[in-house]
């Protein structure tokens, strides 16, 4: 039997399968390493800019500081120390905030931040996003299927709340409640669209919130073993 490299022979087919097997195993590790690097950068940057750099500038000459920052080993060491300092500060803040006096101090600080123009907008938006996605298990009630972005096209959404339909304008016949459905984008579930839909247009997806998040992050590749295809809502 011929074993040419035209895509139909055994060697090339085996090589292709081997490559994709390795890709499936390495890609999660690569994405994890990237996310860790980004998080470390977020943690290290404030400590490096406001603490490490001033200390270096105070005790070293400009040429030595520049040489240290330009070297790979120096940059890694500074980032590592900055990240460790940031983690220490976070632990200290968490420890202090667990006590009454610390809680009063942070409440006063938040009040001050909310009174500063422009800064209050950024701070409140960031705090709201962290609060929402840091406790998504409590924020989202259930996973549902909705027809979006057009009729006949199904999307996975998360129920965040239910309110009276009359609050959002004239309610349709028989509509007393509107379901607040958050339809996330994939694979980044922190962005998406908010839909206000009547109960009749919302179908339970038959999966938990955690499973729904895995479904979105995996771009639909993940399916829970206990998942059952829901019936379409009656017209």
- Domain ranges across the chain: 1-98, 136-217
pLDDT band at residue 205 under the 50/70/90 scheme:
very high
User: What pLDDT does 145 receive?
Assistant: 95
The pLDDT of 180-203, averaged and rounded, is: 89
In tens, the pLDDT along 84-95 reads 888 888 888 888
Q: How many CA atoms lie within 13 A of 171 on its CB side?
A: 15
User: What pLDDT does 4 receive?
Assistant: 47
Instruction: Look up residue 71 and give its DSSP letter.
Output: S
pLDDT band at residue 146 under the 50/70/90 scheme:
very high
* DSSP β-ladder status, 192-198 and 177-184: antiparallel
User: 136-217 has which fold?
Assistant: SH3 type barrels. (2.30.30)
* Comparison of pLDDT for 86 and 172, the residue scoring more: 86
User: What pLDDT does 133 receive?
Assistant: 58
The pLDDT of 173-178, averaged and rounded, is: 77
Task: Give the least confident one: 25-34, 46-55, 134-143, 177-186.
Answer: 134-143
User: What pLDDT does 132 receive?
Assistant: 59
Q: To the nearest whole percent, how much of the chain has pLDDT over 90?
A: 13
CA distance 95 to 75: 30
Cis peptide upstream of residue 20 (ω within 30 degrees of 0) = no
N-term to C-term CA, the chain: 58
User: What pLDDT does 168 receive?
Assistant: 80
Query: For residue 59, which phi and psi values (nearest 5 degrees)?
Result: -110, -15
* Comparison of pLDDT for 138 and 41, the residue scoring more: 41
User: What pLDDT does 223 receive?
Assistant: 83
Supply 211's token pair: 């499973």
* Comparison of pLDDT for 68 and 218, the residue scoring more: 218
| Residue 202 confidence (pLDDT) above 90 | yes
* Comparison of pLDDT for 211 and 111, the residue scoring more: 211
- Tally Cβ neighbours within 10 Å of residue 109: 10
Classified as helix, coil or strand, 9 is: coil
């Amino acid at each position: 039997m011929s074993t040419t490299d035209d895509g139909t022979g055994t060697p090339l087919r085996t090589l292709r399968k081997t490559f994709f097997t390795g890709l499936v195993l390495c890609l999660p590790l690569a994405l994890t390493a990237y996310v860790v690097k980004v998080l470390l950068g977020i943690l290290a940057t404030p400590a490096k800019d406001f603490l490490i750099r001033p200390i270096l500038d105070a005790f070293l000459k400009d040429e030595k500081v520049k040489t240290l920052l330009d070297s790979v080993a120096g940059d890694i060491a500074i980032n590592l120390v900055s990240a460790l300092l940031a983690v220490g500060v976070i632990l200290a803040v968490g420890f202090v905030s667990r006590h009454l006096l610390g809680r009063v101090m942070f409440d006063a600080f938040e009040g001050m931040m909310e009174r500063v123009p422009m800064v209050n907008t950024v701070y409140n938006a960031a705090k709201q996003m962290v609060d929402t996605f840091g406790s998504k298990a409590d924020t989202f009630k259930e996973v549902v299927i909705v027809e979006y972005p057009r009729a006949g096209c199904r999307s996975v959404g998360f129920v965040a709340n239910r309110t009276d339909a009359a609050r959002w304008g004239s309610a349709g016949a028989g509509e007393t409640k509107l379901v607040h459905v958050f339809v996330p984008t994939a694979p980044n579930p922190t962005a998406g669209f908010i839909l206000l839909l009547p109960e009749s247009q919302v179908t339970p997806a038959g999966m938990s919130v955690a499973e729904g998040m895995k479904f979105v992050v995996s771009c639909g590749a993940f399916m829970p073993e206990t998942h059952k295809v829901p019936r379409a809502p009656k017209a």
